[in-house]
Amino acid sequence: MKTFFLGAKAQKYKGSKVQNEIRTKSIFFILFSIFFTLFSYGQEQDSTQVNQLDNVLVSAVRVTAKIPVTFSNMDKKEIKFRNLGQDIPVLMNYLPSVVTTSDAGGGIGYTGIRVRGSDATRVNVTINGIPYNDAESQGTFWVNMPDFASSVESLQLQRGVGTSTNGSSAFGASLNMLTDSYASKPTGEVSGSFGSFNSQKETVKFSTGLLNDHFELAGRLSRIKSDGYVDRASSDLKSYFLQGTYVGKTTLIKALVFGGTEKTYQSWNGIDAATLNSDRTFNSAGMYTDEAGNVRFYDNETDNYKQNHYQLHWSESFSDKWSTNLALHYTKGQGYYENYKEDAPMADYNLNPVGAIITTDLVRQKWLDNDFYGTTFSAKYKDEKLDVILGGGWNKYEGDHYGKVIWARYASQSELGDHYYDDFSTKTDGNIFAKANYQFTEKLSFYGDLQYRRVEYKADSPETGLVDDTFNFFNPKAGLNYEINQKNTLYFSYARANREPNRTDYEGGNVKPEKLNDFELGWRFNSEKFQLNSNFYYMGYKDQLILTGRLDDVGSPIRANTEKSYRLGFEFDATISLSDKFILRPNFTLSSNKNVDLAVEGQYYGTTKIAYSPEVIAGNIIVYSPIENLHISLLQKYVGEQYMNNIELPEAKLADYFVNDLNVSYEIKPRAIFKSITITGLVNNILDKKYVSNGAMWDIYPYYYPQAGINFLAGLTLKF
């Protein structure tokens, strides 16, 4: 079984569009040059205004404590202590209601995240307000952006529907990331880490600082390698990040180019219960029997993908009350995964029988060549009582899917480069929204948010059939924020979300869009030594797409609509300063997640638990700083038992687990050469817990994804 889901991955894999790509790149840099020329003379820098301008990049999708939305923030300082090569979901593991997993078992390579039981296809992800989720599968492939955490200034996770944003609707959470701000002075940074499973990371960063008080160029190069905890689950990941920034008195312009390449040995099959007990690291990917009857493993059973992102942002502050942001973006993705197939039916690959021979061993590649481009925009007005944001976006996805047989034992009539399938899909997604926060009184404010979204999706493939669907969604949101006093705030909100099916859903036949009503009631307490956030939530679904237990021909789960389901929960998180040396950061979630009157393929099951939705999720971080610049953290995570399907088969139950990590960081500030030297160590799973964080059902048979026992990473960062 494949957590990665080959159907979704094949999307992540058209004939070549080199001219389009070159043209788009040229337009991108010409526009940047024009903007730079227009604003590079005669403007003086004001640091206060510039900081405000930098926030305009994400103000259309982010919230503050004055908005009645449930959220958590992570900034660069918090990220850096554990940024030793593991992926962004792993770094977010200790946020409330978050569950993470790793196919390779060690947090490098393919990783996944669920929030409130909702998987990555239901978590809306944006980078500087630009959608990142794959338009067709709606998933987020973090492996395509290795070490992106090193270029993140801050991130905000909004749980529930959250506010209106660009891209697909949030059905469990929305995550928006702001990339590095500019540096006023030249900086440089070299960092490296190594650890278990031959894991290693090298990163180089630089910034010119503001040249002539206006222009900065900054960049990063990274490489991450790991053998993985699971057999042959290797990763070879490379990435880059380049940013040019123009800073004026009322203007901020950023041009960004970033991307990465990944080559990972496939580790998404999982293992059955017997193998879990006898050989936890076994990986069946690439396994075949040669002509002599020997069991072997194909050495190039790999996933290969590259993705390049181009963004241009223009933020303008016209006055203390008015500001705008306009962004253009283009993403180019291309890659394939390769499989050895044993005794494959020749007819499935357009091969003619060779005499009486109708099957053959072969090596296939499934390709995706896609383009994603568009624009986002917003205008903000703010005075003492009213804060209004008008915005929207238009984005288009074009994806070619095709397959090639690169070797066959009986090649028949095939020619090198032949395609055994070809299909093309397009998706256009446009939205407009208006958000307003009005301060009725000194204590009471009202928040309103209206969004109209139109989606057009066309596809033609044997899996999906002929698809030509158009969806028109209206998503209203509203809430109240009441400040009892300077320390205590209550809030209540309602949000409506509608969501279109993804590519794989069309394989299931007559699917309908999903609908969600999200109610949030929260209390925030903020004092000098104690901060607390707590909230109740009720998420009521109509026609939610849930797992049926059936699989398609490449192992992807088939989903079907269920008429009624809900998630009801309580979330709590706090920061407690016991002293200057001790800080506690506990959080927990208690929830009930149910399908109501569930019927699957004509069989009635009644009320059942929603798959992958543990009723208890808890975390805690204990930080001890015995001396200045030394931080010792114990990180704890508990995830309750959960089912891997919606009919509560006993075989589908995943056991609960409790793991502990130890993180140590010490910063030295020498008087010469380097500004700082930081030594970091991370010991994961210090109690060597044998646990499984994820799994899948192959019909009635469970498959598991075991995570590594005790393992470590250590790093050194030099700043100058």
Is 90 exceeded by the pLDDT of residue 244?
yes
Residue 292 within any structural domain of the chain = yes
| Within-domain flag for 685 | no
Binning pLDDT at 50, 70 and 90, where does residue 504 land? confident
Residue 564: CATH number of its domain: 2.40.170
pLDDT number for residue 156: 94
pLDDT in tens, 436-493: 999 999 999 999 999 999 999 999 887 778 899 999 999 999 999 999 999 999 999 9
Asked whether residue 15 carries a pLDDT value surpassing 60, the answer given is: no
- Tell me, yes or no, whether 21 lies in a domain: yes
Q: Give how far Cα 7 sits from Cα of 342, 366, 505, 600, Å.
A: 20, 10, 10, 22
d(CA 123, CA 131): 11
Q: Looking at residues 66-74, what average pLDDT do you find?
A: 94
pLDDT for the residue 713: 97
Name the region of 363 (left: φ>0; alpha: ψ -120 to 50; beta: rest). beta
The structural domain count of the chain equals 1
pLDDT digits (tens, 9 = 90+) for 691-720: 999 998 888 899 999 999 999 999 999 999
Burial level of 29, CB count in 10 A (0-12/13-18/19+)?
Answer: middle
Residue 35 placed within a domain: yes
User: 665 Cβ partners below 8 Å, 6+ apart?
Assistant: 81, 630, 631, 678, 679, 680, 681
Residue 248 has phi, psi (to 5 degrees) of: -120, -175
465 occurs within a structural domain: yes
pTM > 0.85: yes
Is pLDDT above 50 for 54? yes
User: Which residues, 6+ apart, have CB-to-CB distance to 532 below 8 Å?
Assistant: 523, 524, 525, 526, 572, 573, 574
Can you give the pLDDT at residue 559?
79
**pLDDT confidence band for 62 (50 / 70 / 90):** confident
Residue 67: pLDDT band (50, 70, 90) is very high
* 553 — pLDDT class (breaks 50, 70, 90): low
Residue 644: is its pLDDT beyond 80? Answer: yes
Rounded CA-CA distance 122/173 in Å is 7
> At 558, is the pLDDT very low, low, confident or very high (cuts 50, 70, 90)?
confident
Residue 1 lies inside a defined structural domain of this protein: no
Report the pLDDT value the prediction gives residue 23, as an integer from 0 to 100.
46
Other Cβ atoms closer than 10 A to 22: 10
Q: Which of 222-236, 249-263, 359-373, 508-522 has the lowest mean pLDDT?
A: 508-522
Residue 87 in any domain: the answer is yes
Tell me what pLDDT residue 56 has. 64
> Residue 262: what pLDDT?
96
Q: What is the band of 348 on the pLDDT scale with cuts at 50, 70, 90?
A: very high
Decide: 362 and 349 in contact? Cβ < 8 Å: yes
CA distance 267 to 110: 9
Residue 371: name the closest of 395, 337, 404 by CA.
395
Look up tokens 């219960």; give the residue: 273
Per-residue confidence (pLDDT) for residue 535, from 0 to 100: 97
Lowest mean pLDDT among 18-22, 372-376, 501-505: 18-22
| d(C-alpha 8, C-alpha 145), whole Å | 17
Q: Which residue has the tokens 């296809």?
A: 121
For the record, the structure tokens of 403 come out as 């397959």
How confident is the model over 503-511, as a mean pLDDT? 79
According to DSSP, the residues that pair with 661 across neighbouring strands are 635
Q: State the Cα–Cα distance between residues 228 and 157, nearest whole angstrom.
A: 28
Amino acid identity of 502? N
Using CA atoms, how far apart are residues 297 and 49, in angstroms rounded to an integer? 59
Mean pLDDT for all residues in the chain: 89
- Judged by average pLDDT, the poorest of 97-101, 199-203, 206-210, 461-465 is 461-465
In this prediction, residue 549 carries a pLDDT of: 58
Distance CA(4)–CA(11), nearest Å, equals 12
Tokens coding 64: 């503050």
Q: Write out the H or E segment, with its range, that includes residue 21.
A: helix 18-39
Does some domain include residue 670? Answer: no
At 566-598, the pLDDT tens digits run: 999 999 999 999 999 999 999 999 999 999 999
User: Is pLDDT above 50 for 11?
Assistant: no
CB distance 84 to 108 below 8 Å: no
Percent of the chain scored above 90 by pLDDT? 76
% residues pLDDT > 70 (the chain): 90
* pLDDT over 70 at 33, yes or no: no
Strand duo 111-115 + 98-102: pairing: antiparallel
Range of the domain at 179: 6-185+249-655
4 pLDDT tier (thresholds 50, 70, 90):
very low
Look up residue 678 and give its amino acid.
Answer: T
pLDDT of residue 556: 65
Question: Model confidence at 546, in pLDDT bands (50, 70, 90)?
Answer: confident
Return the SS3 of 672: coil
Q: Quick one: which H or E segment has residue 219?
A: strand 215-226
> Which among 234, 20, 117, 129 has a CA at the least distance from the CA of 566?
117
